[in-house]
Chains A and B, each alone.
Chain A
């Protein structure tokens, strides 16, 4: 089943390019550490899911949308390298003037004006799929187009493709801004997406930046470097894996399976991904890992809320089996123990069937009302990803984002209390009540996650 990607705004388009590039490079990689037959099945599955063929050239199943032309033009020409993949030249929607970092402009002006044309382009791409699994919508939440137009479009996709799943890949901006009104744009986007999206896979710029600095040892980190790490993380989740029933076939509906496992309750839609190992290309040949080593570290990353494989706090432990009295609950929070609602572990590489997953089946990791039998699942494939002999990705629905979300809501609230910049939003029809609605919804989300 195919996934159609909608790339929105500068961020969405720049990242989308790196994602398709990473998926393509990995699928073409001959160093899969597995049998030739396995490799071919993997390749075929990946290609069907993310690309379609036209005259022997793979075309990404994507629609590129931006309100100004520079970035899309750049991405289209970057992709058209000989012997690699391409974008469909017609699957693009562009205007002349951007959204000015204004959520209201993206949502209330660009949205209604252009939704129909964009939906037509998406429909064309959907028609070229044998069967549609769902949509990726890649967008930032700090700017104007990705965030505002993205929120509007997701709603439209909800209305028109009610059977298809929508996963929004949202890019969480740096804490010390890229855009001054990013907190406003973020809360407006998140509250709207919460109502119309099926899942939000959150990627934090700060976290990925640190991965580049510490793990990849990149000296002068550019957005390209950041986007490539992000693409690696996404690829390690969405490249093909064996289906549960039969380990000779590749899973056909990853999106559906993922949503089923990770979003058991509509109030909890925020997902995060951690991958291990992560290192620069030059270090790769010199490193070997065991599944035990990798999984132990990944588990500790999960429970201590570490975003990368460095500086992990090994002091944090899950609470003891018997229910602690209410007073003791605070102790866990102080230790920053991260309770999960649901976890999906994806393992790729050599002797993956020998990996011991018991650590992730510990009921102490999960909330009281959903035990590990329902909350935890694992996908595997012996085919290695991106030349990492063994690698694991963990997609988690848990308390990862309580703190960042709380911080953004807090900053937005402080700014809102002073009424700064509000005139820029009311100019385009977003009133104070709309802000208040967003705040209310998000405070609810924070509270729900806190109480897991």
Chain B
């Protein structure tokens, strides 16, 4: 069994990260009734005897004493991290695994990347090495950050290069929160585009998320749940509130949204941690979903979003879960995969679902989806027997689909609107190591990516022709 380390950078990264750890603890508590430290828990947590000081404190087997998250928390302001360390999760984090500063990055990618990057490079390396040493077999780094700000965006992407150089064999999965069009940070397009270049070059796999989509999903759930439309069979529990049971509902609007992202990460790793009849490890994600190294952006959708009181879900409801996964309203970014071109699609199912249910739904939904000519029947599937907390089954669909293109195009447009006027540029250029070429290179990197998607889209309407086969002399 392998381990993963979560690196949460910036305000957004740390807030999402916090939700993630809370949910992970709940999930393992629900599954692991006996309190034994097993391989599933060890994928995200260390077992530590807090009475022992120093390195000897890790315990590999036996009862759980004190769980420590395999996490590194980075923020250039103290507010968020301090709040985490004073909150209910304070004992889960190792105080030695933090890197904080006071002044913040001022929503400036250059400050995050160049200034703080250089300043904290050694410390970052040291903390990462430490967390790697605590792992038996480190498979993956999960980086959580936002694209629009300064720390998550700048320092978060600086990290990627460090990880690539220092741990080339370990996968880098990045969960990036993209700014929505009504984002209140004026320079977010600059930050995002500069960060995109780094993601293009140094990430193995990126899961883009945007706040608008998360917000829409939350609103829709609220509407249905409060209107009582689904009748008495709907519990007041949902993906939204499952972790906030102990807290007041909707303490902060972002809590519910962050919960969805936390669920996404948990679901992604569920088949690697828990048993099932068709396992899917993390290295299989990039193997199957990344046909060409640059095209590593995966659109995700999680269903169902509310639990139902029945335990044995009749097939119709189960099938609804599959249908919803392809619906544009369930995607975690503004995207419509059904009307774009699929390069690859993965369906990760949790709970009491069998291979026949999976196959039936693939057959049913296939005709309405367009797949690229060289991968007409390519589906990656996995079945994990352990459902998420509060649900009897759930589905995560990961799609490598050209529907990411509009997000990138829009980002580029917003960038160009600012850049043409050289608005706020001086904030960036006054940072040492920044030049205008950084901007132009970043935009061309993005344009090249958009062009690749364009070329693929162009093949959509062309009828599929088989390539002539090798002819053999008999």
Contacts and interface: CB of A to CB of B under 8 A. Distances in A.
Interface stretch (A306-314, A359-367, A440-448): A440-448
Contact of B1 (A70, A74, A415, A424): A70
Contacts of A419: 292
A440 B39 contact: no
A180 B378 contact: yes
Nearest to B469: A413
Given A69-B1, A220-B354, A423-B293, A177 B377 contact: yes
A218 to B, nearest CB: 8
Given A178-B381, A180-B288, A421-B291, A68 B470 contact: no
Contacts of B359: 174, 176, 209
Interface in B433-450: none
A221 B354 contact: yes
A414 interface: yes
Interface in A205-233: 209, 212-213, 218, 220-224, 226
Contact of A71 (B279, B283, B356, B378): B279
B298 interface: no
A113 to B, nearest CB: 14
B472 A443 contact: yes
B277 interface: yes
Contacts of B32: none
A174 B289 CA distance: 18
A69 B402 CA distance: 36
B220 interface: no
A177 B381 contact: yes
B61 interface: no
B472 A420 contact: no
A14 interface: yes
A101 interface: yes
Contact of B374 (A175, A213, A418): A418
Nearest to B467: A417
B375 A221 contact: no
B336 to A, nearest CB: 22
Contacts of B374: 414-415, 417-418, 420
A63 to B, nearest CB: 20
B466 A414 contact: yes
A96 B139 CA distance: 10
B373 interface: yes
Q: How large is the interface on B (under 10, 10 to 19, 20 to 34, 35 or more residues)?
A: 35 or more
Interface in B22-52: 39
Interface in A392-411: 409-411
Interface in A191-209: 209
Nearest to A177: B379
Of residues B287, B288, B474, which shows the largest number of chain A Cβ atoms within 10 Å of its Cβ?
B287
Given A181-B288, A221-B354, A440 B470 contact: yes
A176 B288 contact: no
Given A176-B362, A220-B357, A98 B281 contact: yes
Of residues B2, B136, B288, B346, which shows the largest number of chain A Cβ atoms within 10 Å of its Cβ?
B288
A447 B472 CA distance: 8
A299 to B, nearest CB: 29
B275 interface: yes
B284 A98 contact: yes
A74 B281 contact: no
Interface in B79-110: none
16 contacts: A68-B279, A96-B2, A97-B2, A97-B139, A100-B286, A176-B379, A180-B289, A180-B378, A181-B287, A212-B356, A410-B469, A419-B292, A420-B292, A421-B291, A443-B470, A443-B471
Given A176-B377, A415-B375, 18 more contacts: A68-B1, A100-B286, A101-B284, A174-B359, A177-B377, A177-B378, A178-B381, A179-B380, A180-B288, A220-B354, A220-B357, A223-B354, A223-B383, A420-B292, A421-B287, A421-B290, A423-B293, A443-B472
Interface of B: 1-2, 39, 136-137, 139, 275, 277-279, 281, 283-284, 286-293, 343-344, 346, 354-357, 359, 362-363, 366, 373-381, 383, 466-467, 469-472, 474
